Structure 1
Amino acid sequence: MRRIRGRWRCNSSAGRGSTARLGRRSARQPRRTYVIPASASPASLPLPGLTWGIKRSFMDYISGLPDGAVSAADGATVTASGEFCFAPDGAEYDPASGTGVLRFRGDVRVAGHHGMMFVRLLDPWVEFAAGHGVLSISTGDGGGQERTDVGTLRTAAPRNMEGFLVWERVDVAISQSGSELFDGQYADGQAMDPLVIRVPA
């Protein structure tokens, strides 16, 4: 990733390292403390909540920056595979119609290039309509009530597993406002990493 006319670029061919392992930091950067990775229980189920890695090439790039920083707090954790898991925070979902909203909580921040790059994912929601969904995040304004779309989801009916509704490998295409969140690095409609959802049935 390099700065070009005010924007940063990511090299999608970056190596596939763990997102929790960052590159060597400059002397000015304090040591970061990371959340202990969560673990799934039972093993056959995904982690409870919403799990998303954003995009592997992007996170691999962050891990190689001298000042790359990743934090997860307030209900968000970093998994053993380097994805982000947001805790469940309520839902109104109708399995019969496939419509409703799933709410999650957590605050994930990704930064680098001495503050020129900063991405924040705060309290994501998934809103379902017939055959598709929308991933949104809180802007942090308006008492946490104002939200912006990050991407559109190609959804199917969830599986009922041991009393939980599970959506596996849900395709995510970044939206226009999501593209702006990443400073235009990803074009509107570009595929991001799939996400996984597990909530009580």
Structure 2
Amino acid sequence: MSAERRTGHELCWGVKASLRDYLSAIDGEIVCGDGADQTPAGEFMFPTAHPTHLDSSRCLRFRGTVVFSAYHGMLLVRLRDPWVMLAGAVGSLTMMHPDFADRTSERIEIATFSLPEHPDVASGRGWTIAVPRLTYDGTRALGDVYGIGTELDPIHIRQSAAAAQP
């Protein structure tokens, strides 16, 4: 087991329950890759991309891809490599730009949020972002279905199961 895995965090996020429900109703498809996985409850787990202490930019980096698709590709939402950026009492969730099929350094901010009053970032135990809100780029990334400011599913940042083992 690598040191990264032992000390890792996971980002657990359902994105938007209504999107998952819609895809289920129309026989759409959700495909996870590059380390991301879907839980039985429907949330997506993204493992840490780097050691999980906050770097100097106050960024927690995760890796993995989730692709939502339906209608022979007419509905296509690609969420890749989420990063949680912290700045004072607020933060944002960024993703690799969805227009690029290959890896790119270009990122978009898909949600903003207020931090919990006492986020337990430094201890490594984890915390929850209760009300992430969709940004303009986030509305575009989710297919222009939801408006700016729409509440997304809560984001949970927690110690990975492997890291919790002695």
- Is 1:186 the counterpart of 2:146? The answer is yes
- Is 1:51 the counterpart of 2:12? The answer is yes
Aligned to 1:65: 26
Structure 2 portions without partners, runs of 5+ = 1-7
Aligned to 2:54: 93
The number of aligned residues is 149
**TM-score, normalised with respect to structure 2:** 0.80
SS of 2:149 mapped into structure 1: coil
The one-letter amino acid of 1:127's match is M
CA RMSD of aligned residues (A): 2.5
- Is 1:145 the counterpart of 2:105? The answer is yes
CA distance in 2, matches of 1:129, 1:169: 14
What are the superposed Cα offsets for residues 29-65 of structure 1, whole Å, 9 maximum, x if unpaired? xxxxxxxxxxxxxxxxxx9410110111111110111
Structure 1 portions without partners, runs of 5+ = 1-46
The one-letter amino acid of 2:59's match is V
Percent sequence identity over aligned pairs: 33
CA distance in 1, matches of 2:42, 2:69: 16
Aligned to 1:130: 88
SS of 1:49 mapped into structure 2: strand
| Structure-2 change in CA distance of 1:89 and 1:113 (3 Å) | same
Q: Is the 8 A contact 2:129 2:154 kept in 1?
A: yes
Displaced runs of 4 or more, over 3 A: 140-143
From 68, 72, 77, the equivalent of 1:114 is 72
| Structure-2 change in CA distance of 1:172 and 1:58 (3 Å) | same
**TM-score, normalised with respect to structure 1:** 0.67
SS of 2:60 mapped into structure 1: strand
SS of 2:84 mapped into structure 1: strand
CA distance in 2, matches of 1:113, 1:139: 22
Q: Is the 8 A contact 1:158 1:165 kept in 2?
A: no
Structure with the higher fraction of residues in strand conformation: 1
What are the superposed Cα offsets for residues 91-115 of structure 1, whole Å, 9 maximum, x if unpaired? 4527xxxx70000000100001221
